[in-house]
């Protein structure tokens, strides 16, 4: 049997509730001969996933040491598709998401890309964040990992996948990917859970994210940033 067109790789770490909803949506609309779903669990002691493993036997389940970059690499190595998409468990896709990647496949110069960022809340501050993210992507070609990166396998392997760092693995990855080919950012949106902003405070979370990015570009190591982030 020929390999699938796309592998949807979902790194999880104690995300059973979010993953349950995501798998229900994905498995209802994914043709198994076309799309492969790979869940990479970063906490082997998490018994909450046992029920999901039994329920979704057509999903490929992979165990990995924790660390999103490491987990996504493990998922890519366990998959066989020509395209890879890295999807956070609390992100929801537009109904037309697959056609976006199919269109990217028809553009030989495109090595990868990401979807448009949106938040499912009526808060005015959420609209400010959405516009700021759109400007960052438009001006600097710099999406974050919660925008569901998609990448050709050949390009992924060429740049060596994600760096095994505890933070900013998505920024590092997309910058290296941009060096070898064109990135494409369609207008099709993904819906990102606002739970981090609700938990930490909208202004505080936004300032923290901007500070982390600025410090990273100033040369502060991801290990040091991760320690600061965990304290926050």
- Per-residue pLDDT of the chain (232 residues), as tens digits, is 688 999 999 999 999 999 999 999 998 877 667 999 999 999 988 888 999 999 999 999 999 999 999 999 999 999 989 999 999 999 999 999 999 999 999 999 999 999 999 999 999 999 999 999 999 999 999 999 999 999 999 999 999 999 999 999 999 999 999 999 999 999 999 999 999 999 999 999 999 999 999 999 999 999 999 988 876 6
130 contacts 192 by C-beta, under 8 angstroms? no
Distance CA 132, CA 127 (A): 9
46 contacts 16 by C-beta, under 8 angstroms? yes
Phi then psi for residue 66, to 5 deg, are -65, 160
| DSSP letter, residue 47 | G
Torsion of CA 194, 198, 202, 207, to 10 degrees: -80
Neighbour-count burial of 130, counting CB atoms closer than 10 A to its CB (0-12 exposed, 13-18 middle, 19+ buried):
middle
91 contacts 146 by C-beta, under 8 angstroms? yes
Distance CA 108, CA 160 (A): 20
Collapsing DSSP states into helix, strand and coil, what is residue 102? helix
Sign of the CA dihedral running 125, 116, 152, 77: positive
| DSSP letter, residue 147 | G
């Amino acid at each position: 049997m020929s390999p699938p067109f796309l592998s949807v790789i979902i790194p999880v770490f104690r995300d059973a509730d979010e993953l349950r909803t995501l798998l229900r949506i994905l498995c209802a609309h994914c043709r198994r001969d076309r799309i492969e779903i790979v869940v990479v669990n970063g906490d082997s002691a998490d018994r909450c996933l046992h029920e999901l493993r039994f329920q979704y036997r057509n999903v490929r389940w992979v165990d990995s040491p924790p660390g999103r970059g490491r987990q996504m690499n493990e998922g890519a190595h366990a998959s066989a598709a020509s395209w890879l998409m890295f999807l956070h468990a609390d992100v929801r896709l537009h109904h037309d998401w697959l056609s976006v990647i199919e269109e990217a496949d028809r553009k030989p110069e495109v090595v990868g890309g990401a979807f448009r960022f949106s938040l499912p809340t009526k808060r005015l501050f959420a609209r400010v964040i959405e516009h700021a993210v759109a400007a960052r992507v438009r001006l600097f070609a710099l999406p974050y990992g919660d925008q569901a990166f998609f990448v050709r396998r050949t390009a992924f392997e060429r740049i060596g996948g994600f760096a095994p760092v505890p933070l900013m693995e998505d920024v590092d990855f997309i910058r290296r990917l941009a060096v070898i080919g064109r990135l494409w950012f369609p207008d099709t949106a993904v819906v990102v859970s606002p739970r981090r902003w609700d938990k930490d405070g909208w202004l505080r979370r936004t300032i923290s994210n901007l500070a982390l990015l600025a410090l990273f570009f100033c040369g502060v190591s991801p290990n040091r940033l991760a320690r600061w982030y965990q304290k926050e």
